[in-house]
Each structure stands twice: as C-alpha cells, then as structure tokens.
Chains A and B, each alone.
Chain A
C-alpha cells in the first residue's frame, strides 16, 4: 500500500475515534451516561437487573415488588424462618373454627401525605385488590368479606376454615382509601399521589434515561425514621455489569428478590475485601428430580429409592453450585424452616441402587446395555429439563450420566418455561423432570412443599397418596402450633420414606454487600434483604461513596 492510501485510512480511523470519544464526553448514549455520584446523604445504593418501565405498582411488576418493601406497608410479614410476624396488624385472634379473623391495627401509622392510617384503609385495600387486580382475586378468593369493626380493628370472614390464611394476607399492600376510593381503573391511574404509602420511604422519582429510582426516608414512619436518608436503585442491563459495579463500589449491594447471586460471581467479588456475604440456606429446594407419581414405573416407591442411590450428590454440589450448597436430606424441606426435621441424608451407593433395581426385575435381557422393564419392554427415562434456568441443562447431563451408570437409558428433553408449564402443569403428561421450587411455592397449600407434591394443588409430583393427603388436610385447618409442628415432622418423615421426588441439592443463597459501608441488614426468604425489618435496623457510614 502506498503512503497516500495509508494516510487516508489512518485519517478515517482517527476521525471515527474522535467522534466516538466526543459522544462519550457528552454523556454518551444510555449505558455510557455518568450518573451523579457523591451525595452528602447516607444513601443505600442498590444494583439490580430487574427491568422497570413505569412507576405504577399496578402496571409494573418489579416496581410493585420494590415498593411493597420500601413504600407500602403490609398487614403481616413473612419472617426469617418462613413464619408470620405481626406488622400493621399488631395482634389477631381467630374465631369460629378458623372462619373469622379479627385483627388489631397499629394506631400510630401515617400516610406520606400526613393522614392517619386506619382500619378503613386496611379493609379498603383488601376489597380493592380483590375486585380490581386479577392476581389478588385468587389469593384472596377465600375472603367472604372484610369489615371494619372500629378505627383500628377489622374482621375478616372466610368462606371456609383456612389455617394458612395469613400467608395470603401477607401479599396485600395497604393503599390509602382517600386516594384510591375514587379511582375506577388503577391500571390507568396517573395521579401524582399514586405512590403514597405508609412505608419507611417516600417515592421520589424515576429517571428512565439513567435507570435510577430514588426513595427518601419518611421521617414520620411509625416504626421510627430509618437511620439512612435514602435508597437509590440502579438498574443494570446485565448481571455481569451489576456485579462489577458492586465490586468497584458504585453500588453497595445487589438485589433480586431473595435469590442472591450465582456462585460463579463469588471469585470476582472476593477481590474486593470490603464485600461480605450473607449466606443463608435457600427456603426453596435448589433443584429436584421430579417424578410423575401416577405413571409406571415411577409410581413404585422402591424404584424411586433405587434412583436416589444412584445420584452423585457431592458432584452436583461441587460442579453446579461451586460448593455453595449441601447434600440434601430425604425429607426434602431445607433447614431454616420453622419445623425442619433432620431426616436421613441422601446417600450415593451405586451397588445398592443396582441391587434394588435387579430385585424389582429391571434387567438387561436383550444385552443392549440398558435395563428393560420387568415385563421385558424397552425402557427410556424421558427427563424434561427447563432450559430457562441457567446451569439446569448441565445438571441434567450429570444426572443422566449417573442414571446411565446403573444401566438406565435416559433422554433429556430441554424445554422453555412456556412448554414446561404446558406439559407439567396443564397436561400433567410428564414422566420426570428437573426443576427447582420457589420459596413462595413451598409456602403454598399446606406449606412445606405440599403444594408441589399433592396432586390436588400445583401437583408437579402428581401424588394422590391417602397418607399424604391426611396430613395435608389437617395442616390446612390447624392453627395450633404444637399440632402443626407434629404434622410437619410427620410430613418430612413421609417424604423421606416415600421419596416422591428426589432433591438434588440444597443450595445456599449468597447475598453480597459492602460491609465497610452497610450494617444491620436482615434477610427473609421472601424478600431477601428488602425484608421489612431491614429498614428498621439498617445503618450506613455516611458519605462513603
């Protein structure tokens, strides 16, 4: 190439480079915008990857989740152990065999606009959500009516006795009657006062261009003004970016519900000595090998037990969870639950697995290397794998190898969430699949995962064992704590004995935060560090940006 052409090329490159740099220096486009940093306030900066588009709790799911912790109050809250603690409802009593619940409401709570919060607001909120918001219709379908007894007492009558009712109530955000009673369609309401709540923080605003939401402390919060001045939520497009922001100190913690972060990020964060981790056992089960208990041969208990001996749990912990997990017990329910029982730990014993299989009649008759069914027909386990959960497919591969190790032929079928729901939920046509449970799901029905197991509810395991149903039915109506604990222990023993499903690992939640700056974080399995109690105890070293 001659000099002149080279010159032309270089000039072009330089021009382009200048243009790009110029764009950046002038704010860039979106991701390159520099957000104002230093502020004299004690502010908690939270990084998240939840996408938030509008600031209405009715139309934007993630905004609603944020606000349910920061801006609005709840009647009761789910605590660290998955139990229920009083909140706006300071005490309650149950009458008429679990049909009528009477709640006393705190008398010193106020709205952000100054007005007092009364039982009228509470009853109103319940009725409003029930009638206007589809999801709540289901949650609150049990309620026949919510009545105001006096300014600080309400009574709720149910259609049938339901001991777990408080869990349904725990999702209701209390909204001000004086604002919403005239709003016909909450999904379209754009009034300035749509985010007035009684929570520890007042909603300030949402800068969509930079993806930043601001909340400032409410000085008249009924539990006492939070010790921090503001909460700033920064939205990142990818988890990688959020993690890096935490490492560099641009945010003080990362939040995505109670999920914590993926273990693969831990080594990166460890490079910053200020970053500490809250490590808690997950309330849900990290991953489970599910069986459709109504289909042969998965309805044979010994078959399921045999499989449980073939799985190499320690490998799963090591490879998939990078060590941030434990080998589960046969009782399914992870430690941390209120009435957790230490059932036997699941064990890897390939010879035992083979022994049981042979005793059941699963032998390789035609010599192709795979075991046939006792009646001689060819057998392939079809395992559905949710491909939307990262790492799930890899785990499935390990499970497949373990099963092939004892002579069972396996086919993995990766599906997306929609197809998964179609097969497992609507048609219940699955044989086995690999998926996790969520905390909320575990609390459904009679709690302790019964919703997932019992065919009458979510029913992924499709079990209609009368032994199980007996325990569940009692749990659904008992409010006596001692009886509940007794039933919970019996339930876990039953799980361990029958192994309707096989838990693969009990993962740990890894919640990172900047310990040099924050203290007093509290964690609940439902909301993670956005647990209501955090706002009462959190503390920040001022001005450390």
Chain B
C-alpha cells in the first residue's frame, strides 16, 4: 500500500493503543515474577492490531482513556486508563503484579473510516500520544444482584514523565532514620537528635 498524505483523506477514524510494561508480572502470589507487556486497544473485540512487533488486543468499549493535553513545551499531565469487565478470577494478577511505576505508552492510530484498516501515511502512524508511568491504581467492583456475579474495573492513574521527575525523592536528611533508610548500618547520624538545641561549655576548665 502506498503512503498517503493525511490531508488527502476524507474519512478517517482514530483508535488508541495502550502498552504497559510490567517488569514484575505474577499470575499467582509466590510465582516467580517475569516481565511482560499488557497490550490492548479500543478497537472492537477481535480486531487486533500489530504495531512494532506487538499485537494489541481489541477491548472495544471496555477500554477507556481520559483526555490528555498536548503542548509544545513539556508539561505535567495525568490521565486515567480504565479497563472494565475483569472477571474475579483475574484479580489476582492485578494484585500480585507490581503495577505502580510501570511505564505506559499510549499511541494514537489512524484507520480508514470505511474499511478500518490502519492507514499508511507519510506522517508516522501510529504516533505516541502519552508517555508516563502508572502512579497508582484502584479496583472497582460492579456487583450484579440478579446473577449474583461481579465484574471489576481497574483504573490506572498515569502521570507523565515530567510529573515523575518533579516528584523527586526528597533526599537524605541529617537524621538517623533517613540515614538508615539508605545505609542501615551507618551510625554517623545517630546523635543528631540528641545534639539539637544542645550547647557545650567550651573552654570551661574542668575540676
């Protein structure tokens, strides 16, 4: 397929691809962790898309991504990815894997408005829309009284890389607790608390 310019197209639609890299992925508690990518898109179920060697599973309306800003200058931003319809049996994966701090990339992919095929454009396609990290996550249960079953929604709160940089580790303080957090066996800061507001009678002759 030859590459088209986006300006020549009259009917296009866009979809989102989410890639979450999880360095410590566990299915059950106690399993040896392994690294994996969670790959999904908002295309309809069964319409998987392959990009950069990865296949993104279509979740359709089960995937939700809030809006994000696009600015010329780097700016801090936050968005939330929601994945609905998680069965109870899969909750263990969410709980046992280390989701916080995982890197997140969201791509926007442009498809033909009629055929749904990924467009081959002179411009890059897909292109990155958001890069950041999972800052926090939460689970919401939707209980169906009639069927007495529940489905769960996972919310991944993502912050942009700039936010993570601004959320700098506070650094070392001159006190024992802070020192031992980084160097557990070091005693050099142990007396700081005792020295606070202490004065010495320097030069006073001792009997």
A complexed with B:
no
Chain B residues near A (Cβ < 8 Å): none
